[in-house]
Amino acid sequence: MDKNLMAQVLTGTLTDENDQDYFVQVEGETFQLDKSEIKKPFKMGAHFTGFTYENEQHKMQITRQIPKIRRDHYAFGTVVKGKFGLGVFVNIGLPNKDVVVSMDDLPTVTQLWPREGDQLLISLTVDNKARIWGHLADEEIFEAISRPVKGHIQNQNLKARAYRLKLSGTRLLTEDYHLAFLHPSERLAEPRLGEEVSARVIGTLRDGSINLSTRPRAYQEIGEDAEMILAALEHTETKQLPFSDKSAPEDIKTYFGISKGAFKRALGHLLKEKLITQQDGKITLTKQED
């Protein structure tokens, strides 16, 4: 099989048929066309244009279900499974064929390989044996499809997908197609390649890209004490309580059920995150842009 005839949108001539398939000849090579794709019967000698590939039964097939992912055409495909020693299989929209992204293009640490449901931005390549492979988009492709940040998004929550894993940190593309960076100090675990993560914007750079954090906010890191104080404030009409870091330990214990030390730690984090204000012996809930 000529590799130039694979993973292409080509036009051929119908030369034969059986109960299940038509047979389309393209430059001397024969491809089968599933009749279930065709609403009106074809006549022999008719022309047909479709996408060429080798299906899971290792038969040459042509389909009118032309995938968005093709040679030099990048799009996101969904990972369906991984195979140790080979790579990961990606669904690109063909009826009976998933393409492999080689382990040579994946992280050295297999725990960081994409898993089922993760998504990769890929195009297709064909090797000298006419086998179709998925090819990961490089940095230039991501820069070409990205958009610079406009407006104020500091502290906003968003979704982003990891596309490059480096020792210096993770590079991601947000759901709004902004380029983003996640430093190792701003994450609890390293995202897998292709994994979608929930993150918070902690900085905007001059080039329009952003820095992210997947760490919990400070008040979340200290657990339930801060959340309890916030909940108590939420349930008051004035969003205010007559407590402060100067309140008596017994009053704090009676109302909140925690020690004054735990109360002051929680209060300190809430004040640092600007979730509350403290004045005249009272704490007040503030409005947040989230």
Strand-pairing partners, residue 48, are 12
Q: Has residue 70 been placed in a domain?
A: no
For residue 150 the two structure tokens come to 């406009």
- Rounded-to-integer distance, Cα 180 and Cα 248, Å: 46
Strand order in the sheet with 282-285: 240-241, 282-285, 276-279
Pair 135, 123: CB distance under 8 Å? yes
Q: Has residue 290 been placed in a domain?
A: no
pLDDT of 158 higher than 60? yes
Q: Can you give the residue range of the structural domain that contains 154?
A: 147-213
For residue 162 the two structure tokens come to 């990891």
- Rounded-to-integer distance, Cα 4 and Cα 52, Å: 10
Mean pLDDT of 250-255: 93
Q: Which residues contact 56 (CB under 8 A, 6 or more apart)?
A: 96, 97
Residue with structure tokens 């063909």? 94
- Rounded-to-integer distance, Cα 114 and Cα 85, Å: 14
**260-272 and 249-256 helices, crossing angle to 10°:** 80
pLDDT, tens digit, for every residue of 37-90? 999 999 999 999 999 999 999 999 999 999 999 999 999 999 999 999 999 999
pLDDT, tens digit, for every residue of 162-209? 999 999 999 999 999 999 999 999 998 899 999 999 999 999 988 899
Q: What is the CATH number of the domain that holds 232?
A: 1.10.10.10
Q: Has residue 68 been placed in a domain?
A: no
Which band of pLDDT confidence, cut at 50, 70 and 90, is reported for residue 272?
confident
Which band of pLDDT confidence, cut at 50, 70 and 90, is reported for residue 145?
very high
- Rounded-to-integer distance, Cα 278 and Cα 273, Å: 13
- Do 209 and 224 fall within a single domain? no
- Rounded-to-integer distance, Cα 123 and Cα 89, Å: 13
Q: Which residues contact 187 (CB under 8 A, 6 or more apart)?
A: 170, 213, 214, 215
Q: What is the CATH number of the domain that holds 42?
A: 2.40.50.330
- Do 226 and 189 fall within a single domain? no
pLDDT the model gives residue 290: 41
- Do 208 and 151 fall within a single domain? yes
Q: Has residue 151 been placed in a domain?
A: yes
Rounded percentage of the chain residues whose pLDDT exceeds 70: 96
pLDDT of 243 higher than 60? yes
**CA angle centred on 202, ends 196 and 204, rounded to 5°:** 100
Q: Has residue 142 been placed in a domain?
A: no
- Rounded-to-integer distance, Cα 60 and Cα 56, Å: 10
- Do 242 and 273 fall within a single domain? yes
Give me the chain's average pLDDT, please.
Answer: 92
**249-256 and 224-234 helices, crossing angle to 10°:** 80
Strand-pairing partners, residue 63, are 51
Q: What is the CATH number of the domain that holds 123?
A: 2.40.50.140
Q: How many domains in the chain?
A: 4
Phi, psi of 233 (to 5 degrees): -65, -40
Q: Which of 161, 188, 213 is the last residue of a domain?
A: 213
- Do 37 and 90 fall within a single domain? no
Q: Which of 21, 41, 63 is the last residue of a domain?
A: 63
pLDDT the model gives residue 191: 95
Q: Has residue 24 been placed in a domain?
A: yes
- Do 226 and 258 fall within a single domain? yes
Q: Has residue 182 been placed in a domain?
A: yes
User: What three-state secondary structure class fits 266?
Assistant: helix
